[in-house]
Chain A
């Protein structure tokens, strides 16, 4: 009588994939880099939601942050493009194939300095895309220069202080049309994972500004984007919970304290008030909350704004349902009669 050893069943998600299917190649970023934590959260979020990796397209610009798409979702197409121009690259691919789940990863140099123009126009268009800003206030790859999100007074390792005011990418996104605006901290695993899941479920542009300390160039006492500073000054707006569309909503919502927002795919984002009374559908309130926090030197995290009714750029273009990329010739080359008709008009 022989005995067979049955290996323990592999842990899989609802579409039968292991977490390995969502991983990428080994990171080449510094040990302890906030960006690596974000990559881990991306892997978890897509795995746990059971998104088919082949449906995702990853986009990035140039910089440490933009390298990171190689380190997650290895079964998704990736496009590491040019500095500051990722929004146009993501937009073009989404035009070609509206069924893709677009995931953009950039840094503060990419988004707030060289690429602020493209960032603003992407926001204005409400391109359906998850847009993560891995924000450390510093240029890492070129060894430690200020970016446009560095706070006034924050210093470089050399002691040089920044005297110019920072761009607040969340405020910009809020003002000009993004339909999902959030801020988080790379060290806040639970919050970031929930925000990513909600962003995946959201239909329009989801901008998530993640404070992600640079351990090599900007994790010192004078930095406002260091682990220590953010841990001391983070103020979570609320506690978040996410119920995916495939899970039954069983828990009753306690009155008053919780807002339950249904997202486009039927998921629910539950927003539990902690400190201040905050309505994430009120754009003006979000803007003033950001202003107040900035004045106090606080880092406000959580969902700042959510709008589930505004049409996306792709919807406004009135395109056919199928991806343009794979329409057959019969649908993209008009018949000979059409050419004949035009030629007759020109005689």
Chain B
């Protein structure tokens, strides 16, 4: 076994020799398909179980096996869980990227690497820990075929020793990860983790400053990805028809929904399902089925990403014009076209707001956390049925597919709202109805469901011109009246969408505005601006489109408002420019990131500093 010779180094963060506790990022560089996901999740969970705030970001390729993958874990005693650009602790397992990964590190970082890669010669200002993985894995894993997978657990053991991660927590995380049914696999992997830990304890001398120390900041919390949270939201919102077509990064939303529905949505006596989940032949069919199921009275949804939304565009225009309820999850990824299918962006905002030909407007909700993925999904179903229109739930790959700490979701208190649906009894009382008549002055007509036992229940739904009675028309006044009513309806929707979160700072002259997963980086950036540049900011986090009065007031209150976008063209700020008067538009500044990785605070801070001339 090799002995380690490392020249004493000074840490870049903190004073020389002083430990850096619970404030570091670990990056594991592996090859896609090598089974590192389990090992990475176990590390993440072990830190979480030690009470340390963590986040995990998987940067994976669009490939089944063979291309490079990076998994980044950030531990932050201050609770910052946005991606951090700087890597403090690299686990270099991928020969293809190891050199570049090491050369990118800041001085003072630590590197655990597969010994044959010989990385030590690359530079002298980082801490190197070579590990003979092949030698270590052979004794603990007699089955050669499994060694490729099991060797990942060895780095868990080595990293645990180096960072002082408690091994009982590693074991607990491992058992949780494998579940009761895979106890044998759990034991095999536990053996490997222990071997790594024991070897490190015997062989290595720790020279880097990074230390994990038990704290109490995660008590009661759960770890969940946004897609699973949306799935739970849909199940507890009483979804009945789910149609979808597989696409990264949204597939796991419906896949986890299938798992939950199988457990909780079968009639206990008959075993029959109170739902239908259909994998359609494409996105055109999945949205067609969802909208029509909504038309027929189901709580219907579909889930997709940008390319799927592009295909759905025609149908969503029908949904708007014929007034059909459905919830559409758009787990955004990098476009245009196929783009970067496994990288994150918020690049569908402008498109979805006005999706389809002609004059259309669609509500969008912007959850920023798993908790909001859960609660806003419920709100989306209510909005869709109350306002008889397609509603988008906008998340992104970062929120949807990565694991997040979250408070347990509170059970929905309010009953489900199904909107204006007339029954046969209602029709007997009323004598009849006109489908698109604005009876209540809110732009929302009354509808009936097919199968309603009444001779006056039927109406004819169409995407062609229609009057109040849903009859075909090409008359100028009928058309104008109808689309004006739809505009009125959108104004009603504006009063009912989730309000933004506003944090006013009386000392601030500049404001920050963001939506969805940008929240974490923007909050951290506000702290950086205060700490490093003595600059105070207010913050408004948008939770929905159409925008509400709070945004207008916020812009009015600040000299400059920085709108943070995860796309090249500033789509969120563009939507504001479409609505606001010139005086307000003049205050809007744009901060954009579009490299495909989860947004980090430094990118936001640097851009605000540049534009402010700080």
Cβ B300 vs Cβ A343 within 8 A: no
**Residues of B within 8 Å of A, CB-based: how many?**
74
Cβ B295 vs Cβ A93 within 8 A: yes
Cβ A324 vs Cβ B240 within 8 A: yes
Name the segment of A76-84, A161-169, A192-200, A211-219 touching the other chain: A76-84
Contact with A along B283-312 (1 / 0, CB 8 A): 011111111111111111000000000000
The listed residue (A319, A320, A325) touching B297 by CB distance below 8 A is A325
**8 A Cβ contacts from A143-162 to B:** none
Which residues of B are found within 8 Å of A1, using beta-carbon distances?
none
* Residue A88, interface by CB 8 Å: yes
**A183 smallest CB distance to B (angstroms):** 25
Q: How far is the CA of A32 from the CA of B285 in the complex (A)?
A: 34
Q: How far is the CA of A317 from the CA of B416 in the complex (A)?
A: 25
Cβ A334 vs Cβ B235 within 8 A: yes
Cβ B460 vs Cβ A70 within 8 A: yes
Cβ B292 vs Cβ A334 within 8 A: no
CB contact under 8 A between A96 and B453, given known A88-B292, A320-B274, A346-B224 = no
Closest to B288 in A: A88
CB contact under 8 A between A54 and B240, given known A81-B318, A95-B293, A97-B451 = no
Cβ A343 vs Cβ B222 within 8 A: yes
* Residue A231, interface by CB 8 Å: no
**Residues of A within 8 Å of B, CB-based: how many?**
58
CB contact under 8 A between A54 and B411, given known A317-B273, A342-B232 = no
CB contact under 8 A between A99 and B451, given known A320-B272, A339-B409 = yes
Q: How far is the CA of A317 from the CA of B260 in the complex (A)?
A: 16
Cβ A325 vs Cβ B288 within 8 A: no
Q: How far is the CA of A117 from the CA of B451 in the complex (A)?
A: 28
Q: How far is the CA of A89 from the CA of B270 in the complex (A)?
A: 29
* Residue B446, interface by CB 8 Å: no
The listed residue (B240, B294, B411, B449) touching A327 by CB distance below 8 A is B240
Q: How far is the CA of A347 from the CA of B237 in the complex (A)?
A: 23
Among A76, A97, A320, A340, residue most surrounded by chain B Cβ atoms (within 10 Å): A320
Q: How far is the CA of A91 from the CA of B290 in the complex (A)?
A: 9
* Residue A85, interface by CB 8 Å: yes
**8 A Cβ contacts from B249-270 to A:** 260, 263-265, 267, 270
Which residues of B are found within 8 Å of A54, using beta-carbon distances?
451-455, 457-458
Which residues of A are found within 8 Å of B487, using beta-carbon distances?
none
**8 A Cβ contacts from A10-53 to B:** 21, 25, 52-53
* Residue B198, interface by CB 8 Å: no
CB contact under 8 A between A82 and B292, given known A53-B455, A319-B272 = no
* Residue B314, interface by CB 8 Å: yes
Which residues of A are found within 8 Å of B14, using beta-carbon distances?
none
* Residue A250, interface by CB 8 Å: no
CB contact under 8 A between A100 and B450, given known A88-B289, A91-B289 = yes
Closest to B285 in A: A88
**B413 smallest CB distance to A (angstroms):** 10
Cβ A318 vs Cβ B285 within 8 A: no
Which residues of A are found within 8 Å of B402, using beta-carbon distances?
none
Q: How far is the CA of A75 from the CA of B427 in the complex (A)?
A: 14
Cβ A326 vs Cβ B297 within 8 A: yes
Q: How far is the CA of A319 from the CA of B240 in the complex (A)?
A: 10
Which residues of B are found within 8 Å of A69, using beta-carbon distances?
460
Q: How far is the CA of A3 from the CA of B361 in the complex (A)?
A: 65
Closest to B299 in A: A332
Q: How far is the CA of A114 from the CA of B222 in the complex (A)?
A: 48
Q: How far is the CA of A25 from the CA of B467 in the complex (A)?
A: 15
* Residue A266, interface by CB 8 Å: no
The listed residue (A75, A80, A92, A325) touching B449 by CB distance below 8 A is A325
The listed residue (B315, B453, B458) touching A76 by CB distance below 8 A is B458
CB contact under 8 A between A79 and B461, given known A88-B284, A93-B293, A320-B273 = yes
Which residues of B are found within 8 Å of A339, using beta-carbon distances?
232, 236, 409, 411
* Residue B6, interface by CB 8 Å: no
The listed residue (A52, A95, A331) touching B241 by CB distance below 8 A is A95
**8 A Cβ contacts from B211-228 to A:** 220-224
Q: How far is the CA of A128 from the CA of B466 in the complex (A)?
A: 29
Among B222, B274, B453, B472, residue most surrounded by chain A Cβ atoms (within 10 Å): B274
Which residues of A are found within 8 Å of B274, using beta-carbon distances?
319-320, 324, 327, 331-332
Q: How far is the CA of A327 from the CA of B291 in the complex (A)?
A: 18
Cβ B458 vs Cβ A346 within 8 A: no
Cβ B411 vs Cβ A96 within 8 A: no
Which residues of A are found within 8 Å of B299, using beta-carbon distances?
332
**B399 smallest CB distance to A (angstroms):** 16
Q: How far is the CA of A77 from the CA of B462 in the complex (A)?
A: 11
Which residues of A are found within 8 Å of B66, using beta-carbon distances?
none
**8 A Cβ contacts from B445-487 to A:** 448-455, 457-464, 471-472
Cβ A95 vs Cβ B289 within 8 A: yes
* Residue A248, interface by CB 8 Å: no
CB contact under 8 A between A92 and B451, given known A100-B296, A118-B284, A321-B272 = no
Cβ A77 vs Cβ B459 within 8 A: yes
Q: How far is the CA of A75 from the CA of B460 in the complex (A)?
A: 10
Contact with B along A304-331 (1 / 0, CB 8 A): 0000000000000111110111110101
* Residue B238, interface by CB 8 Å: yes
* Residue B199, interface by CB 8 Å: no
* Residue A133, interface by CB 8 Å: no
Which residues of A are found within 8 Å of B16, using beta-carbon distances?
none
Which residues of B are found within 8 Å of A74, using beta-carbon distances?
458
CB contact under 8 A between A80 and B461, given known A85-B315, A334-B265 = yes
Cβ B264 vs Cβ A338 within 8 A: yes
Cβ A79 vs Cβ B464 within 8 A: no
* Residue B4, interface by CB 8 Å: no
Closest to B416 in A: A329
**B254 smallest CB distance to A (angstroms):** 15
Which residues of A are found within 8 Å of B458, using beta-carbon distances?
53-54, 74-78
Q: How far is the CA of A70 from the CA of B411 in the complex (A)?
A: 45
* Residue B168, interface by CB 8 Å: no
Q: How far is the CA of A317 from the CA of B455 in the complex (A)?
A: 31
Which residues of B are found within 8 Å of A81, using beta-carbon distances?
288, 292, 318, 463
Among A70, A323, A334, residue most surrounded by chain B Cβ atoms (within 10 Å): A334
* Residue A207, interface by CB 8 Å: no
The listed residue (B221, B449, B471) touching A97 by CB distance below 8 A is B449
CB contact under 8 A between A92 and B289, given known A324-B298, A339-B236, A342-B232 = yes
Which residues of B are found within 8 Å of A276, using beta-carbon distances?
none
CB contact under 8 A between A57 and B460, given known A92-B288, A117-B282 = no
**B505 smallest CB distance to A (angstroms):** 34
* Residue B276, interface by CB 8 Å: yes
* Residue A336, interface by CB 8 Å: yes
* Residue B187, interface by CB 8 Å: no
* Residue A296, interface by CB 8 Å: no
Which residues of A are found within 8 Å of B235, using beta-carbon distances?
334
Q: How far is the CA of A332 from the CA of B293 in the complex (A)?
A: 16
* Residue B550, interface by CB 8 Å: no
Which residues of A are found within 8 Å of B272, using beta-carbon distances?
318-321
Which residues of B are found within 8 Å of A342, using beta-carbon distances?
232, 260
Cβ A96 vs Cβ B265 within 8 A: no
**B394 smallest CB distance to A (angstroms):** 23
* Residue B415, interface by CB 8 Å: yes
**B557 smallest CB distance to A (angstroms):** 39
Q: How far is the CA of A25 from the CA of B318 in the complex (A)?
A: 23
Contact with B along A229-269 (1 / 0, CB 8 A): 00000000000000000000000000000000000000000
Cβ A93 vs Cβ B236 within 8 A: no
* Residue B280, interface by CB 8 Å: yes
- Sample of 9 more A-B contacts, CB < 8 Å, known A92-B296, A93-B450, A99-B451: A77-B457, A79-B460, A93-B292, A93-B293, A95-B293, A96-B297, A97-B296, A121-B285, A347-B222
8 CB < 8 A contacts A-B:
A92-B300, A93-B450, A97-B297, A97-B298, A97-B450, A100-B296, A318-B273, A346-B408
**In the A-B complex, the 6 residue pairs with the closest CB atoms:** A325-B297, A88-B288, A92-B292, A92-B289, A332-B238, A96-B298
